[in-house]
Structure 1
Amino acid sequence: MEIEYINNERVKYPENIIDLMKLVRKSQLGDSYSSSLIALCILCKNKEVNSQFFKYIDLAIEQGDESIPYFLDILFTNGYTEDGFKILQSEELQFKYSLKRKSLSNISSIISLARNSSERQKEIIDAAKSNQLHPIYNQIICDLSKLITNNNSKLFNYIDNLSSIYSFFLNSRHSLLAKPIVLTEEERIAHYTNIQAIHSMLRIPKSSSEYEEYRKKYPVLRLYNTAYMNDPEEGLYLFDCEELKEIVPYIEEERYYRTYIASFTTHKKDDLTMWRLYGQDGKGLSIILPQKDYKMVFPSVIDMLKKSFHSQLNDSDIDEKNILLYKVSYDCTSIRLSMVEMFNELKSLIIKNNDKENSLLVNYLYAFFAKASDEIRYLYKNPQYKTEKEFRYLSFHRIESEKVKLDEREIPHLYVETPPDLFRKGVEIIIGPKAEKKIDIKLDIEYRLKRYGFNDVKVSISKAKYR
């Protein structure tokens, strides 16, 4: 039987995509003829139903609004509109559909589809000016529009170039996402800190009734702003070459302190060298994560559906919703060459457009390159540090973000927090080999853990021989 992809007036299909998906799920149980029909409308391709999509739709409903854009892309790719009816694929339709999505992952395809069409280029520029693109690109295009007037073709060329630069840095960061790692029998992932940090995580409330509230709020790791890092080479190593030296002043002038970091190492859990380097010369503490527990943020449902660890361009990551773990790289040869190539392309475009003397525009473009590199600057280090085997939690936040907080110092430092799921089964806290009053510290921490109900966290004293 041929299926008519038209609106049947006898059946009212829901306009809301979540309700539509719920209706599709019902069709699996044979609840109604209308739901079976809409299921066919959405899921059929060449008159055949892909049964695996039912599983995806179940997951999409459970995941909620954040996963819906991915499923809309599936529908569109297979030739269906958002309301479930068959459409004819065309480049123009793909452009219009992608343009109406405020998705970071769609920007590259939108720009690609507009390269040979002045009309589409204008549509992109107008969309940004009315805040219809992803916020990052709304800002870029509006900023450039003030510097380049009455020349949409030139404006678009710069938009295209900056989009390539930003996508490169973003994809490079995602390539460093921590994959499931195989540790030796003795290795663990460790975070070194001090007794004051544990007290902050496990603070004692004024009344016992508040423990449950505190448990939902405080057992977190803090990621501190990169402004407080004491290594002058941090974040600049990638630019340590003649070809990129022009960008360094733009980094040093404003520093773009929107990056927040917490560091981990992978070594034997009671490693004397690590105590000396990071454990306050043996006087601090280490929090040991369970073997192979490489991150606290589980893969999103979208990643599971794609059977990949993470989406290449994860909008929720960009929009400050995730704190993810990355592996620090000690080999920057290849990526530095790519950065040099991109920077040369940007300079060539400036020369081609006769804009070399336009200092306001050149400064903006160079500053953008510097700011975009923030995505990866703190994930590449000098090879002399490779014995650290470092992993880093990395998160990006504007200073006005509600997630940015001030700590308790006399001159407070900025930080953001991981979710409150630090002290789970398999975590161990080790007191440093040179800590004073080790037994007192051990009892203090155990008391706090028990009061919070963290009964599966072990507290021990280092056995490292420290002279």
Structure 2
Amino acid sequence: MNDPEEGLRLFNTSTALSKFYLNPKNDLTFIKSNGLEYSVYASSFTLKIDRLDLWRAYGGDGSGYCLVTPLKAFNQDVKTAHRSFLPSNYVERAEDAGNNALSDLTEILLKNKVSPFGFSLYKIKYSDEEVNATSIKLEGSLSPLVDFKMKKTDLSPLVDRVVTMMTAELLHLYKNKEYASEAEARILKILPIDSDELNLDASNPPKLFNKSNSVLFEIPQSSVVVGPKVSDKTAAVLHIKHRLAKKGLLRHSNVLISDVKYR
């Protein structure tokens, strides 16, 4: 993630939210709850293609390639969209540990399992107006919970855990306005550190990642855009078409050459 203040934007305007995160930067990276540790994992996309600034920042300075997937590859139906703001295994494990306080919430929270209809894209917000509007909504929802938390009852730790788990992904949907030109959208998912869904990459030290459902080249109008500084564009186009054809994917995919004029 390129924004050094990733996940922190809403803390500047939401007083109630700050009551649940003593050290936001650290608490968002290592979310501790009921003896388990969680992190938020993101897949990043842009809603704009073939732009000079994006080629420079993410496309090998124009010598790379842009993979384009139609929006219909994702589940954007508000009724069935993936909402993982509280993972079901959090509830299940808490109950296994004998936390009876969660039993009344189980029926509601288990509905937040991964949608069988595929992943959903969430648009990143950048403007002060969008941040302020969300902060107002958060204040209205969280203020009663802050009052309850301050009473320091046996349920106060439970309120802390539920709020942090349910807001962790939301916080990653707001970035500094300096990044607005990226027009980013994200798949977000929160997972425990011991999840079987996590894999290690080949870097040193290895980084954790979660494989998303396949969204590339399986939907009509998928395409590959050859970067403006690729040296032999014709050879590149033929190479990509050959590999797509061998996989049976060329019939509904396009291979295009960037329209950006860039030396």
* TM-score between both structures, scaled by the size of structure 1: 0.42
2:151 equivalent to 1:371: no
Q: Distance in 1 between matches of 2:45 and 2:5?
A: 19
Q: Tell me the SS of whatever aligns to 2:186.
A: strand
Counterparts of 1:87-98 in structure 2, within 5 Å, are none
Residue 377 of structure 1 deviates from its aligned partner by 1.0
**Which of 227, 232, 243 is the matching residue for 1:448?**
243
Q: Which residue of 2 aligns with 1:241?
A: 13
Contact 2:226–2:237 (CA under 8 A) maintained in structure 1 = yes
Contact 2:69–2:223 (CA under 8 A) maintained in structure 1 = yes
Q: Output the amino acid matched with 1:333.
A: N
Q: Distance in 1 between matches of 2:113 and 2:164?
A: 17
- Cα 1:435–1:450, aligned 2, differ >3 Å: closer, same or farther? same
Q: Which residue of 2 aligns with 1:279?
A: 59
Q: Output the amino acid matched with 1:449.
A: L
2:195 equivalent to 1:401: yes
Counterparts of 1:22-421 in structure 2, within 5 Å, are 229-241=1-13, 243=15, 244-254=17-27, 255=29, 256=31, 257-267=38-48, 269-290=49-70, 293-297=71-75, 308=79, 310=81, 315=110, 317-319=112-114, 322-330=118-126, 331-351=130-150, 353=151, 355=152, 365-366=159-160, 368-421=162-215
Q: Pick 1 or 2: higher relative contact order, CA cutoff 8 A, min separation 6.
A: 2
Q: Tell me the SS of whatever aligns to 2:22.
A: helix
Q: Tell me the SS of whatever aligns to 1:249.
A: coil
Q: Tell me the SS of whatever aligns to 1:376.
A: helix
Runs of 5+ consecutive residues of structure 2 not aligned to the other structure: 32-37, 84-107
Q: Distance in 2 between matches of 1:316 and 1:451?
A: 41
**Which of 222, 225, 231 is the matching residue for 1:430?**
225
Q: Distance in 2 between matches of 1:275 and 1:407?
A: 24
Contact 2:69–2:217 (CA under 8 A) maintained in structure 1 = no
Q: Output the amino acid matched with 2:113.
A: I
Q: Distance in 1 between matches of 2:21 and 2:65?
A: 36
Contact 1:284–1:435 (CA under 8 A) maintained in structure 2 = yes
Contact 1:236–1:248 (CA under 8 A) maintained in structure 2 = no
Q: Which residue of 2 aligns with 1:464?
A: 260
Q: Distance in 1 between matches of 2:72 and 2:186?
A: 11
Residue 421 of structure 1 deviates from its aligned partner by 4.5
- Spell out, residue by residue over 1:331-355, the C-alpha distance to the aligned partner (whole angstroms, 9 max, x if none): 121221232344432332244x3x3
Contact 2:73–2:215 (CA under 8 A) maintained in structure 1 = no
- Cα 1:460–1:316, aligned 2, differ >3 Å: closer, same or farther? farther
Runs of 5+ consecutive residues of structure 1 not aligned to the other structure: 1-228
Higher Cα radius of gyration: 1
Bigger mean CA offset, 369-378 vs 338-347: 338-347
Q: Tell me the SS of whatever aligns to 1:261.
A: strand
- Spell out, residue by residue over 1:193-217, the C-alpha distance to the aligned partner (whole angstroms, 9 max, x if none): xxxxxxxxxxxxxxxxxxxxxxxxx
Q: Output the amino acid matched with 2:179.
A: Y
Whose helix fraction is larger, Structure 1's or Structure 2's?
A: 1
Residue 374 of structure 1 deviates from its aligned partner by 1.0
Residue 259 of structure 1 deviates from its aligned partner by 1.9
Residue 438 of structure 1 deviates from its aligned partner by 4.3
Q: Distance in 1 between matches of 2:214 and 2:156?
A: 44
- Spell out, residue by residue over 1:301-332, the C-alpha distance to the aligned partner (whole angstroms, 9 max, x if none): xx8xxxx5649889565347542211222312
Q: Output the amino acid matched with 1:235.
A: G
The aligned length equals 224
- Cα 1:398–1:444, aligned 2, differ >3 Å: closer, same or farther? farther
- Cα 1:349–1:246, aligned 2, differ >3 Å: closer, same or farther? closer
Contact 2:40–2:168 (CA under 8 A) maintained in structure 1 = yes
Residue 407 of structure 1 deviates from its aligned partner by 1.8
Query: What RMSD over aligned residues (CA atoms) do the two structures have, in Å?
Result: 3.3
- Cα 1:449–1:339, aligned 2, differ >3 Å: closer, same or farther? same
Q: Tell me the SS of whatever aligns to 1:381.
A: coil
- Spell out, residue by residue over 1:211-264, the C-alpha distance to the aligned partner (whole angstroms, 9 max, x if none): xxxxxxxxxxxxxxxxxx232211111112372444443433342353221222
Q: Tell me the SS of whatever aligns to 1:260.
A: strand
* TM-score between both structures, scaled by the size of structure 2: 0.69
Q: Distance in 1 between matches of 2:208 and 2:254?
A: 30
- Cα 1:397–1:323, aligned 2, differ >3 Å: closer, same or farther? farther
Q: Distance in 2 between matches of 1:431 and 1:295?
A: 21
Q: Distance in 1 between matches of 2:39 and 2:201?
A: 17
Residue 453 of structure 1 deviates from its aligned partner by 1.4
Q: Tell me the SS of whatever aligns to 1:458.
A: strand
Contact 2:14–2:139 (CA under 8 A) maintained in structure 1 = no
Q: Distance in 2 between matches of 1:349 and 1:245?
A: 15
